[in-house]
Amino acid sequence: MDEGFGSFREFYPFYLGEHSNRTSRRLHFIGSCGVLVLVVVAIVQRDPWWLLGALLCGYGFAWIGHFVFEKNRPATFRHPLYSFMGDWVMFKDILTGRIRF
């Protein structure tokens, strides 16, 4: 359980509020796509170094979104587990049209 929130269900509206800027959401989405591609490359190439690239890609795009466009501190610093979960739920919500891209 992340500190300050009783459940991920309670955290997710806060998470979405931290991602109100459309460009920031787009950068998160692009970074998540890059993560998926790089994880597949790591598996196909049997080279775990690609996982470091996946980590840098995901967080790099997200943090640019936060520091440049949202002008806030990424939730990862305060709520790492719920933030990680939120990234993937938001990714799914963008894919399914629940959140504007």
- At 3 the pLDDT is 64
Do residues 27 and 63 touch, judged by C-beta distance below 8 A? no
Per-residue model confidence as pLDDT tens digits over 47-100? 999 999 999 999 999 999 999 999 999 999 999 999 999 999 999 999 999 999
pLDDT value for 101: 87
pLDDT at 2 over 60: no
Average the pLDDT over 17-28 and give the result. Answer: 97
- Our CA angle for 71, 33, 56, nearest 5°, is 60
pTM for the model stands at 0.92
| DSSP code per residue over the chain | --TT-SSHHHHHHHHHHTT-SHHHHHHHHHHHHHHHHHHHHHHHHT-THHHHHHHHHHHHHHHHIIIIII-S--GGGT-HHHHHHHHHHHHHHHHTTSS--
